[in-house]
Amino acid sequence: MQHGKYRFIAGFLVLPLAIYAIFVISPFVQAIYYSFTDWTGLSSDMRMVGFDNYTRLFKDSVFWASVGNSVTLLLLLPVVTLSLGLFFAFMLNVGGRRRKKAVIGGVRGSGTYKILYFFPQVLSIPIVALLFQFAYNPESGALNAFFNAIGLGGVQPDWLGDPQLALWCIMGAMIWANVGFYVVLFSAGMSSIPKDFYEAALLDGANRFNTFFRITLPLLWDTVQTGWIYMGILALDVSAFAFVQIMSVGPGGPDYSTEVLPLYVYQKTFRDGQAGYATSIGVSLLIVTLIFSAIVMRLGRRERLEF
């Protein structure tokens, strides 16, 4: 049994670890180092500049605009997406009218709804982003054409071109893309809640509102929390980058109204040749992410309900 065990372990671990160390770990460590240099990213010379990059952050108004937008996304996106997901999932699984024997049940056709709602989740972000970009297009887009058709021809917003609206438009697309996943996820969670809990509640005369807040939500709390963190990371990182980069004018505009932290890191590196400064923005993004996860963990810590 022990014979050759360590050779086997080493043999199985060496390749995955090597790939992971080269392409994931080492870049992360390097990033932190680069954030203390004045590296341009174009040549190999760089100088240690201590905390200069970080003090520069404080005076950079675009940085603060992107912090503001990222935090807005971070706060609103999970709330709206998860609430819609919970609401629909409840409707589909518990909210239906009661049939003969079943104590609880979803509305009719709930299976079909779940399949439909999940559609956006399998599409890539560029597809969704481009789709919405066309829909928002002020001249030929579906939205303004719809306003025309219902007699609101006078209301023709500039959507993505309007600094007041642009971020909300992008957020709309992100919500659209993610709600379906949570409907399905929460549905799976809800179906594992024992039926007799609902039976007892119904006997006590609970209505749907009470059922949801007293039974479904508390028992689903772990899943909601996982979803919250997952959605928060999307709002800060990859997803926000892709949506803003593809949809917004500039990108990041108009007038930095949609600039977000990951996009700013990208632009500073590959457009402005300030890789050192860019990594210090990245480090601040990491800090925001860590604070966010810590808060969610802390807020979410409550008695675990066993069933």
Partner 1 sequence: MSVQTKPPAVTGRGGAGGKGGKSGESGEGRVLNVFSHGVLVIWGLLVTMPLLWAVVSSFKDDGEIFGSPWGLPSALHFDNWARAWDKANMGQYFFNSLVVVGGSLIGTMLLGSMAAYVLARFDFPGNRFIYFLFVGGMGFPIILALVPLFFVMKNMALLDTYHGLILVYIAYSLPFTVFFLSGFFRTLPSSVAEAALIDGASHTRTFFQVMLPMAKPGLISVGIFNFLGQWNQYLLPTVLNVGDPDKKVLTQGLVALAVSQGYKGDWSGLFAGLTIAMLPVLGAYIIFQRQVVAGLTAGALK
Give yes or no for residue 57 binding partner 1 (CB under 8 A).
no
Task: Classify the phi-psi angles of 109: left when phi > 0, otherwise alpha if psi is within -120 to 50, otherwise beta.
Answer: left
Subset of residues 215 to 244 that bind partner 1, contact rule: CB under 8 A:
223, 226-227, 230, 233, 236-238, 241-242
- Please provide the DSSP assignment of 18-45 as one string: HHHIIIIIHHHHHHHHHTTB---SSSS-
Q: Tell me the window of 10-18, 58-66, 153-161, 211-219 that interacts with partner 1 (CB under 8 A).
A: 10-18
Question: Residue from 159, 181, 198, 228 that binds partner 1 (CB under 8 A)?
Answer: 181
Site for partner 1 in 138-177 (CB under 8 A): 139-142, 145-146, 149, 176
Alpha carbon 142 to its chain centroid, in Å, reads: 26
Q: Residue 245 in contact with residue 251, Cβ under 8 Å? A: yes
Decide: residue 147, CB within 10 A, 0-12 exposed, 13-18 middle, 19+ buried.
middle
Whether omega before 126 lies within 30 degrees of 0, making that bond cis, reads: no
Is residue 210 at the binding interface for partner 1, with CB under 8 A as the rule? Answer: no
Contact 238, 174 (CB under 8 A): no
134 binds partner 1 (CB under 8 A): yes
Residues 258-277 that bind partner 1 (CB under 8 A): 261-262, 265-266, 269-270, 275
Q: Does 297 bind partner 1 (CB under 8 A)?
A: no
Site residues for partner 1, 60-119, by CB under 8 A, read: 84, 87-88, 91-92, 95-100, 107-109, 112-119
Question: How far is it, in rounded angstroms, from Cα 23 to Cα 44?
Answer: 19
Sketch the per residue contact string, 21 through 50, with partner 1: x for CB under 8 A, - otherwise.
-xxxxxxx-xx--x------x---------
